[in-house]
Structure 1
């Protein structure tokens, strides 16, 4: 996994730009307008994203169309997949524990109240 990608995405405006570009390619001006920032600021953030390989820009007349590149996100997904088994194992352990609790409650005949249920006042 490339740490440059993480660094580029760590800044909130750059992360928001990526979120916008998920929907469709946009011009620098459209990005600036949607984020309510000045165009030079948008250009600066896009330069960082471009240098990190996250965004590519295409010149069309006097406009620059920005779009996401899939490769950095594929790399990110590959890196995260090495950790998925940890999450899945922990969820499996939690599921087993909850099933054991439920079985214990059923065996004892004691109704279990959840956090949203309340017991009547006596």
Structure 2
């Protein structure tokens, strides 16, 4: 995938308000899918779909711990997008 395609996917991924809120929550600390669902007030399957979109662009990582899935933020792709955005305003 080219950097341009990756940026486009990231822009799509962060274009949704629930996914932006997930990023904000994960920036504080890793959370289970259940915790994210409770914080967002939406069903766990919906949270899982949002996490899938974020994972596909490299923004999250998940780890199974017993019966729970713990999700953490992988901020490097966001840093790449910020750097690209700043380069555009020369």
TM-score, scaled to structure 1: 0.65
Equivalent position of 1:52 in the other structure: 57
Q: Distance in 2 between matches of 1:77 and 1:48?
A: 19
Q: How many residues are matched?
A: 85
2:39 corresponds to which residue?
34
More strand by share: 2
Alpha-carbon distance in structure 2 between the residues aligned to 1:70 and 1:84? 22
Give TM-score, length-normalised by structure 2.
0.87
Q: 1:9 & 1:74 partners in 2: Cα distance?
A: 13
Counterpart CA distance in 2 for 1:78 and 1:51 is: 20
For structure 1, the residue ranges without an aligned partner over 5 or more in a row are: 86-122
Superimposed CA distance per residue, residues 49-78 of structure 1 (whole angstroms, 9 cap, x where no aligned partner): 111111111111111111111221121121
* 1:56-106 CA distance string (max 9 Å, x none): 111111111111112211211211221354xxxxxxxxxxxxxxxxxxxxx
Higher RCO, 1 vs 2 (CA within 8 Å, ≥6 residues apart): 2
Which secondary structure does the structure 1 equivalent of 2:42 belong to? coil
**What's the C-alpha RMSD, in Å, of the aligned pairs?**
1.2
Unaligned ranges ≥5, structure 2: none
SS at 1:56 equivalent = strand
Secondary structure in structure 2 of the residue aligned to 1:31: helix
